[in-house]
Amino acid sequence: MDGDETKEVDLHSAQPASVPEPPEALERLFQEHHERVFRAAYRITGNASDAEDVLQTVFLRLARREGDLGIGKTSAGYFHRAAVNAGLDLLRARRRSRTVGLENLDGEEDAPSKQLPGQGRLELRDALRAALTHLSPKAAEIFTLRYVEGYGNHEIARMIGASRTTVAVVLHRARHRLQKELSPIEGAVS
Amino acid sequence: MSEKGRDRESVVERAAEELRSESPSPEVVAQAAARVWASVASSSGSTDFDDVAMPQEGQPLHSCADYQALMPSLVAGTLSDARRLLVEDHSRECIPCRRTLHAARAGRRAEAVSEVRRLSQTWLRVAAVGGAALGAGLLAWLAWTLVPVSEAEMAQVRSVEGELFVVDDGDRRSLLPGDWVSAGEEIRTAQDSGAVMRLSDGSVVEIDERSSVLFRVQRSGARIRVGRGAIIVEASEQGSGHLDVSTDELLVSVKGTIFAVSHGTKGSRVSVIEGEVSVDDGKQEKTLLPGDQLGTRRAAPLAFEEELAWSRNVDHYLEVLREFAALRRDLNQIIAAQQPRFSTRLLDLAPAETAVYVAIPNPTVSVTEVYRLLRERIEANPRLAQWWQEEVDDAGFGPMVDRFMEEIRALGEYLGEEVAVGLTDITGRDTPSVVILAEVTNALALEASLEVRLAELQGMIAAGGDETALVLVEDPFTAGGAGESLLVWVSDDVLVAATSVDRLREVARFIEGEVNPFVGSSFHGRLAASYSSGAQYLAGVELASFLPDLLQGEEGAERRALELTGLLDVEHLIVEREQGEELAHTAATLSFTGPRRGMVGWLAEPAPMGALEFISPEASFVGAFLSVDPAVIVDELLAFAAAEDENFATHLAEVETELGFRPQDVVAAFGGEVAFALDGPALPEPSWKLVVEVKDERLLQNVLEQAVARVAHAAGDAGGLSLATVAGDERTYYSLTAHVGAGEGEGAEAAMLLDGRSMVYTYHDGYLVAAPTQAMVEQAINFQEGGVSFVQAAEFQALLPSDGYLDVSALVFNRLGEVLGGLFERLASSSVELTEEQRQTITALQADVGPSLHVAYGERDRIRLVSNGPGVLPFLGVGQVFGLSQVMGMIDPAAGSGAASWQ
pLDDT in tens, B818-843: 666 555 555 555 555 556 665 565 55
B115 falls in which pLDDT band (50, 70, 90)?
very low
B30:A9 CB<8 A: yes
pLDDT of residue B781: 93
pLDDT above 70: percentage of residues in chain B: 72
pLDDT of residue A116: 41
Q: Is B245 on the interface with A (CB under 8 A)?
A: no
Mark which residues 86-125 of A lie under 8 Å from B by CB: 86, 89-90, 93-94, 97, 99, 101, 121, 124-125
pLDDT of residue B837: 60
- Which chain B residues are Cβ-neighbours of A59 within 8 angstroms? 36-37, 40
Beta bridge partners of B591: B572, B862
A100 falls in which pLDDT band (50, 70, 90)?
very low
Interaxial angle between packed helices B95-119 and B64-76, expressed in degrees from 0 to 180 and rounded to the nearest 10: 30
pLDDT tens per residue, range B35-86: 888 888 776 543 332 333 445 555 666 666 677 778 777 777 777 767 777 7
B771 falls in which pLDDT band (50, 70, 90)?
very high
| Kind plus residue range of the DSSP H or E element containing A6 | none
Mean pLDDT, all residues of chain B: 76
B460:A172 CB<8 A: yes
Interaxial angle between packed helices A24-45 and A48-64, expressed in degrees from 0 to 180 and rounded to the nearest 10: 150
Pick the residue from chain A with its C-alpha nearest to B399.
A136
pLDDT of residue B107: 55
pLDDT of residue B874: 62
Mean pLDDT of B98-112: 56
Q: Residues B491, B511: contact at Cβ < 8 Å?
A: yes
pLDDT of residue A115: 42
Residue B363 has pLDDT above 80, yes or no: no
d(CA B902, CA B881): 12
Nearest chain B Cα distance for residue A78, angstroms: 15
B663 falls in which pLDDT band (50, 70, 90)?
confident
| Kind plus residue range of the DSSP H or E element containing A97 | helix A76-97
Residue B134 has pLDDT above 50, yes or no: no
A65 falls in which pLDDT band (50, 70, 90)?
low
pLDDT of residue B338: 67
Nearest to A169 among B13, B81, B400 (CB): B400
d(CA B296, CA B269): 6
B886 burial via Cβ count (<10 Å: 0-12, 13-18, 19+): exposed
* Residue B417 CA, distance from chain mean position: 29
pLDDT of residue B116: 31
B673 falls in which pLDDT band (50, 70, 90)?
very high
pLDDT of residue B717: 61
Q: Is B460 on the interface with A (CB under 8 A)?
A: yes
Q: Is A177 on the interface with B (CB under 8 A)?
A: no
Bigger pLDDT: B718 vs B52? B718
pLDDT of residue B140: 35
B232 falls in which pLDDT band (50, 70, 90)?
very high
3-state secondary structure of B698: helix
pLDDT tens per residue, range A127-158: 899 999 888 888 899 999 999 988 888 888 88
d(CA B178, CA B147): 13
**Bridging pattern class, strands B258-264 and B221-234:** antiparallel
pLDDT of residue B199: 87
Pick the residue from chain A with its C-alpha nearest to B58.
A49
Bigger pLDDT: A69 vs B370? B370
* Residue B256 CA, distance from chain mean position: 24
DSSP code for B812: E
Percent helix, percent strand, percent coil in chain B, to nearest 5 = 45, 25, 30
Beta bridge partners of B812: B623, B854
CB atoms within 10 A of CB B800: 15
d(CA B12, CA A176): 9
Q: Is B2 on the interface with A (CB under 8 A)?
A: no
pLDDT of residue B120: 35
Residue B761 has pLDDT above 90, yes or no: yes
Q: Is B169 on the interface with A (CB under 8 A)?
A: no
DSSP characters over B235-287 = PPP-TTS-EEEE-SS-EEEESS-EEEEEEETTEEEEEEEES-EEEE-SS-EEE
| pTM of the complete model | 0.49
CA neighbours within 13 Å on the CB side: how many for B670? 22
pLDDT of residue B351: 94
Q: Is B794 on the interface with A (CB under 8 A)?
A: no
DSSP code for B738: E
Nearest chain A Cα distance for residue B11, angstroms: 6
Q: What's the one-letter identity of residue B738?
A: A
- The runs of H, that is alpha helices, within B645-773 are 648-659, 663-667, 697-715, 748-754
B4 falls in which pLDDT band (50, 70, 90)?
very low
Mean pLDDT of B173-196: 86
d(CA B831, CA B346): 57
Residue B138 has pLDDT above 50, yes or no: no
Beta bridge partners of B764: B767
pLDDT tens per residue, range B202-228: 889 999 988 999 988 776 678 899 988
- Which chain B residues are Cβ-neighbours of A10 within 8 angstroms? 34
Mean pLDDT of B269-283: 82
Q: Is A183 on the interface with B (CB under 8 A)?
A: yes
pLDDT above 90: percentage of residues in chain B: 15
User: Which residues neighbour B766 within 8 Å (Cβ) at sequence distance 6 or greater?
Assistant: B610, B671, B693, B694, B695
Q: Is B395 on the interface with A (CB under 8 A)?
A: yes
B/e letters for B238-253, b = 16+ CB within 10 Å, e = fewer, are bbebbbbbbbebbbbb
Nearest to B344 by CA among B527, B506, B589: B527
Mean pLDDT of B560-564: 81
User: Which residues neighbour B301 within 8 Å (Cβ) at sequence distance 6 or greater?
Assistant: B269, B293, B295, B822
> Which of the residue ranges A94-98, B6-10, B343-347, B725-729 would you say has the lowest mean pLDDT?
B6-10
pLDDT of residue A104: 37
Nearest to B91 by CA among B99, B79, B83, B80: B99
CB atoms within 10 A of CB B75: 18
Mean pLDDT of B133-152: 38
3-state secondary structure of A158: helix
CB atoms within 10 A of CB B302: 15
Nearest chain A Cα distance for residue B33, angstroms: 7
Nearest chain B Cα distance for residue A28, angstroms: 11
Q: Is A73 on the interface with B (CB under 8 A)?
A: no
Mean pLDDT of B654-663: 79
Q: Is B13 on the interface with A (CB under 8 A)?
A: yes
Residue B744 has pLDDT above 80, yes or no: no
DSSP characters over B502-547 = HHHHHHHHHHTT---GGGGSHHHHHHHHHHHT-BSEEEEE-GGGTH
- Residue B757's alpha-carbon distances to B33, B684, B771, in angstroms, are 71, 13, 11
pLDDT of residue A186: 67
3-state helix/strand/coil string of B214-247: EEEEECCEEEEEEEEEEEEEECCCCCCCCEEEEC
Nearest chain A Cα distance for residue B501, angstroms: 28
A15:B41 CB<8 A: yes
Categorise residue B767: left if φ over 0, alpha if ψ from -120 to 50, beta otherwise. beta
pLDDT of residue B742: 52
d(CA B599, CA B633): 8
d(CA B295, CA B262): 9
pLDDT of residue B131: 39
d(CA B302, CA B322): 16
